[in-house]
Structure 1
Amino acid sequence: MTIWVRGQDKTSLIECKTIDVLNRFNEFYIVANYIDFGEVENYSNLGQYSSKRKQIKVLDMIQNHVETYSNKVFQMPQDDEVKA
């Protein structure tokens, strides 16, 4: 199954191979692994959150979206829209 995710800043729409979390220096990101036109794997930042709890909450939201398959595109919420 393919999921498309529109980045938090609304400037990217990515067909995700995998979605991962990345924690660096107290910054919490959700990143997508995708294949570009040259068949090379890349990572792209989908969203940044102020806490690990919010990061995990958004990952839960993506999982729920995949399970219910309401449509093929998930819009990353802004940090202030996530209640952790």
Structure 2
Amino acid sequence: MAIWIRSQDKTNLIECKTIDVLNRFNEFHVVANYIDFGEAENYNDLGQYSSKRKQTKVLDMIQKHVETYSNKVYQMPQDNEVEV
């Protein structure tokens, strides 16, 4: 089952192949791996968080969303909406 995720800034709606984390310069990102129209793999930043704990919490939230099959689209939360 594919999951569609709308980016934190609401500018992208992506059918995700995988969801990964990227930690760089004390910035904690959740990124999507997806296939574009030319069948090439790409990555897109879905959201940025102020801590690794928040980043992990968001991954937990996505996992719960997938497990419950509530629907096929997940909206990335803003940093201030994630409580750890």
In the other structure, the counterpart of 1:15 is 15
Q: Identify the residue that residue 68 of structure 2 maps to in structure 1.
A: 68
Structure 2 Cα separation of the partners of residues 42 and 18 of structure 1: 11
Return the alpha-carbon distance in structure 1 between the equivalents of residues 69 and 59 of structure 2.
15
Q: Distance in 2 between matches of 1:69 and 1:56?
A: 20
Q: TM-score, normalising length from structure 2? A: 0.99
Query: TM-score, structure 1 length as denominator?
Result: 0.99
Which residues of structure 2 form unaligned runs of 5+? none
The Cα RMSD (Å) is 0.3
- Aligned-pair identity in percent equals 82
Map 1:1-84 onto structure 2 (within 5 A): 1-84=1-84
Deviation of 1:17 after TM superposition, in Å, equals 0.1
CA deviations 1:61-80 (Å, max 9, x no partner) are 00000000100000000000
| Deviation sequence 1:6-46 (CA, Å, 0-9, x none) | 00000000000000000001000000000000000000000
How far apart, CA to CA, are the structure 1 residues paired with 2:26 and 2:9? Answer: 20
* Aligned equivalents of 2:15, 2:58: Cα separation in 1: 17
One-letter code aligned to 1:33: N
